Structure 1
């Protein structure tokens, strides 16, 4: 259980950090050039960075390289999270919540924290802690 949790946590942090960089740095740099966001859209994006500027090119690089890396790494995250969910015998609702939280910047860190708490609470023997039943038996 401990190794599965470690794999999940590492991937949750990697995917979470990449998603924040993409959403808060890459997307604004590459898309906020005053052009319409969608085809035929009359409302332009904010004109923070001119198209072809150094900042815009950095944003394009971030979204193309990190975007692709994030996509592949998110698939690995899903596999590790699902594997952990199966070993921990989580409900389908909790599992889907944890998987979906990986798609929302910053929320993925909260979900990782909740998942880790739940694992440590439900499987204390795997982490060297004693369950409430074990403590009760020792006190008898």
Structure 2
């Protein structure tokens, strides 16, 4: 799998995990009364924060490598790296990265991508 495709897959995984943890697991853990089934479900689902953390670390490395290969500015690179920490932002950033790669560095897309 090429670097660009790996970035896109990781961005999706990190984005979905962060959105789910932020908008489902976190509220279920802290809003229902202590000891209720919903609160316990929130506790159980909170393990996904660990999965997000690991996926995010890999995402940061891949995003950094992609940004360096494409020779993007420090500001855009930082936006890419931080977007995995703010719920839903990563989906917009991934869209911008996709447009930017296809416009400026089509060789990074690979022949199998449409």
TM-score, normalised to structure 2, is 0.91
1:100 paired to 2:82:
yes
Larger fraction in helix: 2
Aligned to 2:96: 114
Aligned equivalents of 2:23 and 2:103: distance in 1? 34
Aligned to 2:59: 77
Aligned to 1:16: 15
Higher relative contact order (CA 8 A, sep 6+): 2
1:101 offset after TM fit, Å?
1.3
1:125 offset after TM fit, Å?
4.2
| Cα RMSD (Å) | 1.6
Aligned to 1:58: 41
C-alpha change, 1:128 and 1:62, in structure 2 (3 Å) is closer
Structure with higher Rg: it is 1
Aligned residues: 111
What runs of 5+ residues in structure 1 fail to find an aligned partner?
A: 33-48, 130-140
1:50 offset after TM fit, Å?
1.3
Aligned to 1:6: 5
